A and B are shown apart, each in its own frame.
Chain A
Amino acid sequence: MTMLAWTIYISFLGVLVLMLLPKGNASAARKVAMLSAVAGLLVAVAGFVQFKSGEILTVAKLPWVPSLGIEFHLAADGISLTLVLLTGLAAVGGILFSWNIEHRAKEFFAFYLALIGGVYGVFLSFDLFLLFVFYEIAIVPKYFIIAIWGSTRKEYGAMKLALYSFIGSAMVLVGLIAAYVVSGAHTFNVLELAKYPFPHGFQMWAFPLVFVGFAILAGMWPFHTWAPTGHVAAPTAASMLLAGVVMKLGAYGCLRVAMTLFPEGLEAWKMWIAVLAVIGIVYGALVALVQKDFKFVIGYSSVSHMGFVMLGLVTLNTIGLSGAVLQMFSHGIIAGLLFAVVGRMVYERTHTRELATLEGMNLVKAMPFAAVTFVIAGCASMGLPGFSGFIAELQVIIGAWQAFPTLAVLTGVGIVIGVAYTLRAMQKAFFGEERRPLARLDENEDEHAVPEAGAPISIPERLGAVMLIGVSLLVGLYPRILLDVIVPSFNSPLFDWLKKGGQP
């Protein structure tokens, strides 16, 4: 079944078609992008449905650079498939929420699809060279999307994000080349390299190098600072993708590359990573609690939620690991939804993200749909039962309880603060009392249109919101739909160290 590879091809074909489109035809560009994203999602869903859990499905395996043993090797296990599905959903959602882009629309969607194609590629690559290629392909479009279509210090945010990503990938590259040379295996196949017992001394420095290289992109504290600025500067679709899938690239790389190649290093360093992850959870939540800018709240909440992923990864037990993967999926959906409400529904109609200003607008009356969506998304983000976030974070905490009891308790504190900042933002943004009459606001800042003047929530926005909420509910109510695919993946030879009770 080579069909899954088409997720990648379709995205890059979309880029090509967009580049050949005549200038200035925004509506055609949108349609092409939508078509390509939907086709990608359908392929991903079809692949997901046909997948027999527990196997490692080879999608494509062709010699690429024979003299170095590099192969064009695409494959999928349950973990990658879950994330491919997430990418498909986020891609479609992102386009629905950027339906109104008119400024250089053709280029926007071309960069957007290039990013999507790169992300699909990373999730499906089982050749580490190939994985790295796709990983870096995803960097450049991010820069341009943010720098051209973003807001609030966009050039700074974009450059910071690009440099952080590039430095992270440089660390990964050093580790990969060194692993390739040390193993002497003449292959980049992750299944082969994972079998090679790398010398202990080598693992001790290679593991943190590669892990942190990837974790930078996953927003792990203290390398997270690109994330809030980048998310805030990005246009809505890009924020959705950044938080939704790009941060997952990093976490996925940690799991797929660093942890499978260097189990001894993992064992030695896991405590440190767990501590950083928990600091990330609590710190991100605390900082989110005091933000004045609505989007920064969501930006820091991403840091906090990604902390759960990192914590789940280093629990080294199946429940924690599958919780981490589920959390990647869940956070991808929920963060996308939150950014959609803040960036698209609210900001583009009120032209402000200041919570203090929004407080005076009583937005729940002006745009009830946005308010309802945010309440639902907020509940999901807080981890209310019934939504995907609950089951994911629960698994992570159970896993962490087995591995690091003290840290698990601290994580609980993080969850409580998470409830606090979400409720605070919800209250201020949508349910504030009209302390200031809207007219006065109008006088002060003309370009700040009153909410009533904003267009009603459009059909694409409603569709996108319903889709994402539906998915989160579905996974929350019936998590086995994903877990049945994810959990058996940890029985693969890649995770042999798991069977030894986490003791490699």
Chain B
Amino acid sequence: MSYLELLKLAAPETIVVLTALAVLAIDLTSMRGFEVRLRFTIGGMIASLGCAAAILWTLVVPAQADVMSGMLLVSPLTQLVKVCLLVLTIFTVLISLESKFTTHVGEYLALILLATVGMMFLVSAEDVLMIFISLELTSLSLYILTAFNKRNIKSAEAALKYFLFGGMAAAFMLFGLSLIYGLSGSTNLHAIAAALAGKGLDPLLVVAIVMTVIGFGFKVAAVPFHLWAPDAYEGAPTPSAAFIASGSKVASFFIFAKIMMIGFAGAEGSGAFRNFVAGWTPVIAMVAVLSMVLGNLVAIVQSSVKRLLAYSAIAHAGYMLLGVMAHDDQAIASVVYYAVTYGLTTIGAFGVVALVENEAGNDNLASFVGFSKRAPVVAFSMMIFLLSLAGIPPLAGFFGKFYLFAAALKTGAPNLGLLWLVILAIAMSAVSFYYYLKVLKQIYVVDGTDATKGTTVSMLSQTVLLVMAVLVILLGCFPNILLAHLVAIPAH
């Protein structure tokens, strides 16, 4: 394989890297004197265009290849996930445009793009080394993005926490992966599965599984490895938090599912109720249960909306783990659908929080009072986002949940082995309905004293949020837009 071919396969990533450099260079050379707002607008446009170009390339140039046994796997599924990631990145950039937290516009945007590149490589990897490297590229960019609000001490604290926890998680994961290498003599996921097949559950393999789950548990913020998440979401600049909660989640879940389903194929065990069999699914079942219960219950008492969204993110990670447990083609499709629609929704919600923060100076529930009168369009979008997160039809979040739970149940059919988890998940989403409704109550029901004080939300923000809300509605009403592509392609 020549370098030219390799470049062609990795063209979307290359385009994004070049865009990152371009944004950095242009901001450094020719925009120093401009206002921050203008710099954000120009830089954001360049970054979005770069992502759009990468999307276009991915869609137009069909490619399918497996470079060096899993180092860079290009298949219709990975391409689709990359397109979704790039769309999420564009939305993240667009909700950042009115931020006032930094003057280092070029660096900020470049880091977002670099994190995206990391995620894209991550999605394409089926080799544990490549997975680890891409994951680190993503994580390091995200740590810096978290710390980007230098005027706020909370931002630094959040970043440090995120970094220390993340570093420890990486160590766990590396340890787990090295054990796997020791057991199987390979770094390719398929080869690992082949080498492990028929050997039964080696105690070392159990340790390796647990270590890997711990590592990814940190990445996707699942209980009990979630401690960084609320602080990071609260302290980080809001668009960074949105990015951590969306794009990073999509990529992490995709690869998490892949490692488990491909690499540990044959060591599934069973998470069926009163019928546990040792393997990786019971481990994940435990993490999923804890995440759903703790995430949803703790979210109820939050008064900071960002923290509320953080705990709800933990709960959503719990739901998605159900899909991972289901380990079949439909399951991976359902996890991707869920993660992507969740990412879109959560970026929107954070975007609204960012606007409120700009106006009120904090993200307390009380700051949302009377928001529907001050900014009806944005308030409507927030209603759509939160209801979708709660899983109300006909919004994307509902279909995502439905598809995920159906997939989870199907693996245990006809005994409905995972029914207990599905019941718990649905019961917990009834709990989540309460706290999302609490936010909406502040926005729509509670009468504000200063309701007459108009907020000037720029046309751009309104449009971006409305577009996202419409997308959430569309993906809910016509899930086939995304689903038809997901189910048409075999996962492996």
Contacts and interface: CB of A to CB of B under 8 A. Distances in A.
Interface string A130-143: 00110011011001
A264 interface: no
Given A147-B441, A174-B422, A182-B413, A136 B398 contact: yes
A162 B413 CA distance: 32
Given A65-B480, A163-B433, A181 B394 contact: no
A159 B422 contact: no
Contacts of A184: 413-414
Interface string B383-419: 0000100001110001100110110011001101001
B315 to A, nearest CB: 15
Nearest to B390: A166
A7 B380 CA distance: 25
Given A68-B406, A177-B406, A155 B427 contact: no
Nearest to B418: A181
Interface in A447-503: none
B426 interface: yes
A273 B94 CA distance: 55
Given A133-B398, A167-B430, A178 B419 contact: yes
Contacts of A147: 441, 444-445
B406 A181 contact: yes
A129 B398 CA distance: 11
A155 B445 contact: yes
Nearest to A146: B445
B133 interface: no
B394 A65 contact: no
Contact of A144 (B403, B423, B445, B480): B445
B433 A166 contact: yes
Interface range on chain B (Cβ under 8 Å from partner): 35 or more
B398 A64 contact: no
A68 B437 contact: no
Nearest to A143: B437
A35 interface: no
B407 to A, nearest CB: 9
A159 B483 contact: no
B487 interface: yes
B434 interface: yes
A153 B183 CA distance: 64
A148 B427 contact: no
A444 interface: no
Nearest to A67: B487
Contacts of B399: 65
B437 A178 contact: no
A178 B392 contact: no
A114 B406 CA distance: 28
Nearest to A147: B445
Contacts of B426: 170, 173-174
Contact of B405 (A23, A129, A136, A177): A177
Contacts of A66: 480, 484
Contacts of A223: none
Contacts of B394: 133, 137
A180 interface: yes
A67 B483 contact: yes
B429 interface: yes
B332 to A, nearest CB: 14
Contacts of A155: 441, 445
A52 B74 CA distance: 58
A23 B377 CA distance: 12
A178 B483 contact: no
Contact of B444 (A68, A136, A144, A180): A144
A159 B434 contact: yes
A178 B416 contact: yes
Contact of A133 (B393, B429, B437): B393
B409 A178 contact: yes
Contacts of B398: 133, 136
B258 to A, nearest CB: 21
A177 B410 CA distance: 9
A65 B441 CA distance: 33
A170 B406 contact: no
A177 B402 contact: yes
A19 B440 CA distance: 18
Interface string A119-130: 000000000010
B61 to A, nearest CB: 27
Contacts of A182: 413-414, 416
Contacts of B437: 143, 159, 162
A292 B419 CA distance: 46
A148 B480 contact: no
Nearest to B383: A140
B282 interface: no
Interface in A83-123: none
B309 to A, nearest CB: 19
Given A140-B392, A159-B437, A65 B483 contact: yes
B190 to A, nearest CB: 26
A163 B434 contact: yes
Nearest to B476: A133
Interface centre among A19, A140, A180, A181 (most CB of B within 10 A): A181
Contacts of B422: 174, 177-178
A139 B416 contact: no
B479 interface: yes
Contact of B392 (A67, A129, A136): A136
Contacts of B487: 67
Given A143-B437, A170-B429, A132 B480 contact: no
A177 B418 CA distance: 12
Contact of A148 (B376, B430, B444, B479): B444
A348 B419 CA distance: 50
Interface string B332-364: 000000000000000000000000000000000
Interface in A162-176: 162-163, 166-167, 170, 173-174
Contacts of A67: 480, 483-484, 487
A269 B249 CA distance: 45
A184 B415 CA distance: 12
B392 A177 contact: no
Interface string B442-472: 0011000000000000000000000000000
B445 A177 contact: no
B409 A181 contact: yes
Nearest to A144: B444
Given A68-B403, A147-B444, 8 more contacts: A19-B380, A132-B393, A155-B445, A163-B430, A170-B427, A174-B422, A174-B426, A180-B406
Interface of A: 19, 23, 64-68, 129, 132-133, 136-137, 139-140, 143-144, 147-148, 155, 159, 162-163, 166-167, 170, 173-174, 177-178, 180-182, 184
The 9 closest A-B pairs by CB, nearest first: A133-B393, A67-B487, A147-B445, A181-B409, A170-B430, A170-B426, A166-B433, A181-B413, A136-B393
27 contacts: A23-B376, A64-B480, A67-B487, A68-B403, A133-B393, A133-B394, A137-B392, A137-B393, A137-B394, A143-B437, A144-B444, A147-B444, A148-B445, A159-B434, A163-B434, A166-B430, A166-B433, A170-B427, A174-B419, A177-B409, A178-B409, A178-B422, A180-B406, A181-B414, A181-B416, A184-B413, A184-B414
